Structure 1
C-alpha cells in the first residue's frame, strides 16, 4: 500500500514494536504444544530433531520445553501452565518403557484414578499427562475410551515398538501427522512436521479448492494445505508400527438414541445440570480466567454460568471480552452485552475492531495457520485474544459452535412434514418468522416452505405416494398461498404422471403460468477458481453430495439426521483449530463448554419438539437458562452480522489493496485463479454490497499473498507477538 507507515513517539514503525517477553508468572504464557518423530526403519532418533520441530512454534514454549528420545522415537513438549498440576510435571512423561507427550486437560481425573488397579499408587498431584501414561499401561490403546476432556497425545511403547496417538472427541486440541514407509512425524501444527527433513514441502492442490469453497471442509476433517500432512480427525486414534498402521474411531454419536424423561421440565433440568458441569470443568485453573461475550445466547450462557459458579466458590470476578462496533450498527450487540454485564461478578472489557484495518497482522496470521485460511473475520478474535493476554488471562471460555451442539431444531420441521402435520408446520413457520429479530431476511415463510416442504413432496412424487402429494399441495395452497400448479411443477409431479397425454396437457398450462420458476442445482460455477481445477477435483459433484448429506438430506429421514450430521462434520474441527491457533499465539488457552461429550450426547438425544417450539430455536436451551440469563438475551431471535464489519473495514482502510487484488492474483496465483472471474468479483464488491464478493476477494487476496515470492517460506518461524497499533502488512 502506498500510505506511510505509522510511527510511535520514538520514530519506530508500529509494525516493528514487540510485546516484551517476561518471566512466566509475570505475564508471558504460551499454549502447550507437542511434536515428535518415530523412525519406522529402526534409525535412532535424537532429541535435537524433536526440539527443532517444536521450535517452529515458539509461542507454545515459553513456560518450558523438554524433549526425550527412546530408540527410534523422540518426543518434545512445550508448556502452558493452566492447571495446578502442570507446574511440577516433566513432559514427555516416562513410565515403565512408555513415553508420553500431551496437550491435555482431563475432566474425569477422580474417576480415572479410582478405576486404575488397586496396586497403582498415584498421588493427587499427578499431571494429566502422567494419568494418560498410567491409563495406557493399564488398558493399552483402549485407554482413550475412558478419557473425558480436551486432549491430543502420543505414546511410544518401547516393548511393542509402536506409537499410539489420539485426539479428543471434537478436536479442541490440535494434532497433525505425516506417515511414510520410513517415518512417522506428528505435531500440534503442520509447521512442526514440515520442519523434519524427511517430510516433503508440497502444496496440496486439492486444498485450494477447499479454500475457494469452504463448505467442502464440512466433508473432510483430515485435509491440510500441505500434501501428505493430515489432521488426525476428532475421536480418532492412530497406531503406527514398523510394518503397519491402523486408524480407528474410538467414539461416535448414536443418532437413534433418544433420552426419555417424564416431563419437559426434567429435560430442562438435565440440560442445566450437564451444561453447568461442562462450564465448571473448564474453570479448573489457578490463573486468571476470562470469557468471550458477544451478546448472543451461547457466550452469554457460559459467562453467566461461570460467574455464578465462581461467586459460590469465592473466586475473583470473571473477565469478559466483547467486540463493539461504533461504525457498523448491524453488527453491534452492546445492548445485549450490557444486559449481561449489569450485575456483579463480571469485569467487562471491550475492543473496537472496526477502527483498524481488517488485515491487521495478516502475514503473521498466514504463517500461523500454515497457509491461506477462510476466516475473513479473524481480526475480531485477534483483538479479543490480544486484549485478554495483556490483562494476564491464561484461560478463555468461548461459546463457539453452541448452535451445533444444541441445534436450532431444523429436524423438527422435517419431522412435521414427514408426519403430514401441515397445520403445525405452518404454525411453526409463522412463529419462526415472527421471532427472528434480524433486519435481514434470514427467515421467511416462503424460504422455510421451499426448504422443507417442497423437497419432501418431491420425495413423495418419486415414491408415487400421490395421496401424500395431494394433501401437501392442498396444504401449501391453503396455508402459504402457494399455487397448485407451481407446486406440482416444482416437485416434479408432471414428469411422474403415468399418462403422457396428461403430462403434455398440464405442462402447457404450467409453462404459461410459471415461466419465472428456474431449476436449481446448475453445474455452472461462479467462483474465481479456475474451471480446470474445479473439474479435476469434481468440485460440483462433491459439493452436491455435501449439501445432500449435511444440509438437506433426502427424505424420508430420521428426525435427528441434520443435527447428527453437523455434529459429525469436519467443519467443526476446522473452526476450532482456527480459534485455537490465534489464541495460542497470544498465550491464551481456549476452552469450549459446548464441546463436552456428555452435553453433546444429551442434546442429540432430546426429542426434536423440544429443540424448536413456538418459533424459538434451541427451545430446551432457552428454558434451561431461565433465571440465569435476562430475558432480553434468553428470548432474542437473531444476531448481528459480522460480515458487515469486514465489508466496512476493507472499504474504509484497504481500498488501495482491494483495487490491486486482481493484479496480485495474476502475478502470484494465476494457475489457480481465473483473472476474468476475479475482475468480475472485484467489480461486484466495489459496485455493490455483495457478501459473496467479499468472500471471493478474501480468498483471492490470501492465496495470492501466500504465493508471493516476497512472503517468507512456509518453514519460517512465526515472529514474536506484536502490538496491535499496526496497519496492513500487505505492502
Structure 2
C-alpha cells in the first residue's frame, strides 16, 4: 500500500520497508534496484526509463489533458505518462498534475531525488536522511522498518500539537523523521535536502465575474468535475452524508452522475441512538436532514450508523493500529469506524466526503468585516454591518465583538469580551498541556495568543486563515491512509480538489456571505439540487451528539488509562494528569448537555488521552 525507496541503503532495507507497507503478503508489488532502490506495492506505481525512476501513489485526475499536451497515445500507462511529464517540465511537473498523490522521482543524470505531494493532503510521504543516506516511504512504518531510524518523540512537536499551533513544515512527531508538506517538493542531492513550495495559492488573483450567477455556475462546474474525477469506472461508491451543506452537495452531485450511468450510491449517516436536547446554534440529529437528501435521488441507498457503534476505547484501539500519528478526535472515531466497517461489509471501494468544505465550497465569509476594518475601508465595513444585521441576524453586541477581535490585540480583546459577559475560550479550555512543560517549550506566548484558534493569527485575512487551516489538517492524510490499511477503502474528498481550492480562494469574500447570509454561495449554487430543509438551515449539525453515553460507559477504562500514563515519564511531564483525573471525578453524567462539558471532555481530556496513548505506544507500553 504505497511505495518506498532511497539511496545508499544497506542491503534488504527497501524489502523490509515494503513489507511494512503491505496490507497483504499476496498483494502485487514492483521493485526497481539499480543505482537507487524503489519499490511499490498493491495499487502504487514503480516505473523507469533511461533517464529517471519514479514511484507514485494516488490518482491522476487530468490524465487525458496531460496525454494531449505531451502528444502521447491514449494507451500510455500512468508510469510512462508521469515520466514524460517530468522530462518535459522537470521539477515544475508537479504544477501540471491534478489529483491526490505522493510522488518520488530519481533523476539519473542529475543524481537528484524529488519527493512531492499534492495540496489536498490526503496522501502522505515521509523521509529520513543521515550521512548521505536517504530513505522515504508513504507511511512512517516504512521508515521504522529500518533499524537505523530512531523512534524518539519530538518534544517540541508534541507541545505544538497539544496547543494546536501551526507546525514547522518538515516536522513530524518523531525526531529526525521528516514529512513532505502538502503542495511542496523536497529536493535531495548529495546528502542535502531542500524544501521548496511548488503550490503558491497566496499568489492567486481575486476573480471578478459580471454577476452573482456566474460565481454560482463556476463553483457548480468545479465541484461537479471534482466529484466526477473521484468516481472510477466499475468502482462501488459510497458517501459520508451528514446533515450539512458540504457532504450533502458531494452526495447529491455523485448520485446524479452515477444515476446517469445506471449505478448506485450508498450513503452513510451517523446519528444518535439516544435523543439529545437542542444546543445553541446546533442541531443534534443529522438523520432527518440527510434523509431528505437521499429521498431526492432514487439511486441512493441510505444507511444509518449509530454514534455508539462500538465502545470508545475499542474504537481507539482499532484506529491506532492503522495510525502512525496521534488520533485527533476520540469520540468521532466510534462512528467513523462504524461507517467504514459497514462500507467494507458492503464491498465498497470508495467513500466520498466533504471534510474541507468549510474552507472551500461553504466558506462562511466570516472575516469580511475584519478585513474591511483592517484595510481602513469604513464604507465597506458599514455595508457589512448592515448585511450582518439584516441577512445574518447578528446582534449589535456580536458585531461589536467581531470588530474588537479584528482591531485589538488578542489578549485585550479577550479581556474586553469577558468584562461584558461574552468571554471566549482560552488555551487551557482546549488543552491539558502541563503549564510547566509549555513554559519550557518556549511556545507559551504564541500558544496563549492563538488560544487554539487560527483566526487569532489571521486577523481579518480570509485567504491566510483558510490556508492556515488547510496546512494544519494534514492529519486527514493519516486518517485516509489508516482507513485504507484497516478497511481497504479509499477516501476521496472533492472539496479538497486543487481546482476547487484555487477557485474558492479566488472568489471575493462578499460572495460567500452575500446579504450577510453565511455560506451564501453554496446555498445558492445547490438550490434545486438539495432540499430547502438543508439549504435554509443556519445551524450546524453536531457530530456524535450523544457522545456522553459512550464516554460514561468508558469511565472505568478512562481512569485506568490516566493511571497508566503516570508510568510514562514523558506523558507525566507534558500532560496535566492531575487535571485529567479531576475532570473524571467531576464528570457530570451522560444527561448533561452543557457547553462546558464539550470543552472539558471532547477537547481537553480527549486530546490529552490520545496524545498520552500515542506516547505509550511509542514507548512500547500499550501492549
TM bucket (normalised to shorter chain) is: 0.7 to 0.9
Instruction: Specify every segment of 5 or more residues in structure 2 that has no aligned partner in the other structure, as ranges.
Output: 277-282
Q: Deviations over 1:197-227 (max 9, x none)?
A: 22112111123223422x21x4445432211
After TM superposition, give the deviation of residue 35 of structure 1 in Å.
1.5
Mapping for residues 159-558 of structure 1, pairs under 5 Å: 159-213=109-163, 215-216=164-165, 218-254=166-202, 257-312=205-260, 314-329=261-276, 331-342=284-295, 343-376=297-330, 377-406=332-361, 407-417=363-373, 418-421=376-379, 424-430=383-389, 434=393, 446-450=397-401, 452-456=402-406, 458=408, 490=416, 527-544=431-448, 546=450, 550-553=454-457
Asked whether the equivalents of residues 560 and 608 of structure 1 are also in contact (C-alpha less than 8 Å), the reply is no
Checking the alignment, whether the CA contact within 8 Å between 2:202 and 2:463 is kept in structure 1 is no
Q: Distance in 1 between matches of 2:249 and 2:42?
A: 30
Q: After TM superposition, give the deviation of residue 317 of structure 1 in Å.
A: 1.1
Pairing partner for 2:42 from 74, 79, 84: 79
Offset at residue 244 of structure 1 (A): 3.0
Aligned-pair CA distance for 1:643: 5.2
**For 1:644-663, what aligned pairs fall within 5 Å after superposition?**
644-651=545-552, 653-663=553-563
Following the alignment from structure 2 to structure 1, what is the Cα–Cα distance between the partners of residues 496 and 324? 25
Cα deviation per residue 1:10-66 (whole Å; 9 max; x = unaligned)? xxxxxxxxxxxxxxxxxxxxxx41222222xxx6x64x4222112223327764222
Normalising by structure 2, we get a TM-score of 0.88
Name 2:80's counterpart in structure 1. 130
8 Å contact from structure 2 (residues 186, 195) kept in 1: yes
C-alpha deviation, 1:358, in angstroms: 1.9
Residues in 2 aligned to 1:712 and 1:458: alpha-carbon distance in whole angstroms? 42
SS in structure 2 of the partner of residue 225 of structure 1: coil
Residues 256 and 560, structure 1, Cα contact 8 Å, conserved in 2: no
Distance 2:478 2:356 in 1: 12
Equivalent position of 1:720 in the other structure: none
2:2 is aligned, of 24, 33, 38, to: 33
In structure 1, how many angstroms separate the alpha carbons of the residues matched to 2:61 and 2:145?
A: 33
Residues in 1 aligned to 2:509 and 2:501: alpha-carbon distance in whole angstroms: 14
SS at match of 2:545: helix
Deviation of 1:623 (Å): 0.8
Pair 1:573 & 2:531 matched = no
SS at match of 1:359: helix
- Contact persistence 1:395–1:589 (CA under 8 A): yes
**Offset at 1:558?**
5.3
* 1:414–1:61 CA distance, 2 compared to 1 (3 A): farther
Output the CA distance in 1 between the equivalents of 2:426 and 2:122.
37
Mapped contact 1:326–1:354 kept (Cα < 8 A): yes
2:91 aligns with 141
1:371 offset after TM fit, Å?
A: 4.2
Q: Which of 476, 490, 495 is matched with 1:594 structurally?
A: 495
Question: 1:201-257, CA deviations, whole angstroms, 9 ceiling, x for partnerless residues?
Answer: 2111123223422x21x4445432211112211111111112433221111113662
Are residues 196 and 523 of structure 1, via their aligned partners in 2, closer, same or farther at CA, if it must alter by over 3 Å?
A: closer
Is the contact made by 1:291 and 1:321 (CA closer than 8 Å) also made in structure 2?
yes
1:699 paired to 2:600? no
Identify which range, 358-367 or 377-386, moves more after superposition.
358-367
The structure, 1 or 2, with the larger RCO (C-alpha pairs under 8 Å, 6+ apart) is 1
2:31 aligns with 67
TM-aligned CA deviation for residue 540 of structure 1: 2.4
Preserved CA contact (<8 Å) 1:416 1:424: no
Contact 2:117–2:183 (Cα < 8 Å) also in 1: yes
Alignment deviations for residues 462-484 of structure 1 (CA, whole Å, 9 cap, x no partner): xxxxxxxxxxxxxxxxxxxxxxx
Secondary structure at the residue paired with 2:474?
A: helix
Change in CA separation of 1:614 and 1:359 when aligned onto 2, cut-off 3 Å = farther
The one of 521, 537, 553 aligned to 1:620:
521
CA RMSD of aligned residues (A): 3.2
- Preserved CA contact (<8 Å) 1:429 1:445: no
- TM-score, scaled to structure 1: 0.75
Is 1:642 the equivalent of 2:543? yes
Choose 533-542 or 382-391, whichever is displaced more: 533-542
| Alignment correspondent of 2:578 | 676
Corresponding residue to 1:51 among 1, 15, 18: 15
Distance 1:552 1:633 in 2: 30
Structure 1: how far apart are the matches of 2:419 and 2:90?
Answer: 66
Shift in alpha-carbon separation, 1:231–1:645, aligned structure 2, 3 A: farther
Larger Rg: 1 or 2?
1
Q: Is the 8 A contact 1:62 1:78 kept in 2?
A: no
Question: Which ranges in structure 1 are unaligned for 5 or more consecutive residues?
Answer: 1-31, 81-85, 435-442, 460-485, 492-513, 717-729
Q: CA deviation at 1:139?
A: 2.3
Whether the 8 Å CA contact 1:318–1:346 is kept in 2: the answer is yes
What is the SS of the residue equivalent to 1:154?
strand
Are the counterparts in 2 of residues 34 and 188 from structure 1 also a CA contact under 8 Å? yes
| TM-aligned CA distance change 1:648 to 1:260, over 3 Å | same
Distance in structure 1 (CA, Å) of the matches to 2:130 and 2:562: 39
Q: 1:36 to 1:306 in 2, by over 3 A?
A: same
- CA spacing shift, 1:57–1:647, aligned 2, 3 Å: farther
Residues 324 and 478 in structure 2, CA contact (< 8 A), matched pair in contact too: no
